[in-house]
Amino acid sequence: MKEILFGIISGIVAALGMGGGTVLILLLGLFTQMPQHLIQGTNLIVFIPTSITAIYMNIRHKTIRYSLAIPVIISGIIGAIVGSLVSFKIENNALKKYFGIFLIFITIFEIYSFFKQYRFKKKANNKAYKKHET
């Protein structure tokens, strides 16, 4: 039952464009006894149908920039091969720690981006308000 809940949560997060795989890995790591390599492999196989669905919806809504997507796809395939080869050489507990460190960096980046965007909007609103006053 929890696997179904994890799938729904990661699917929703993925559909919102926020990295549902990261959420799935986190949930599986916290609430199952699976080794990290198995968790990450499971995430990759789950990623296929959710990606196909997201791609279909984005093609339908014309929200894909192909000139950007093609080089990223090719680079991503190369990165996936290299990353897989490297991860098989890393011990399970070390891989968990590295993934945790990765999540911390992503969290810091997201918080920084949020505040940067907030300051930019606030500055733009102040300029518009001052312009309206005169």
Domain boundaries, the chain: 1-89, 93-134
What is the arithmetic mean of pLDDT over 22-49?
Answer: 88
Tokens matching residue 97: 């720690």
87-122 pLDDT, tens digit per residue, is 889 998 998 899 889 888 888 988 898 899 988 888
* Alpha carbon distance 71, 62 (integer Å): 18
48-80 pLDDT, tens digit per residue, is 888 888 889 989 999 999 999 999 999 989 998
Under DSSP, the state recorded for 90 is: S
CB 82 within 8 A of CB 63: no
pLDDT at 9 over 90: no
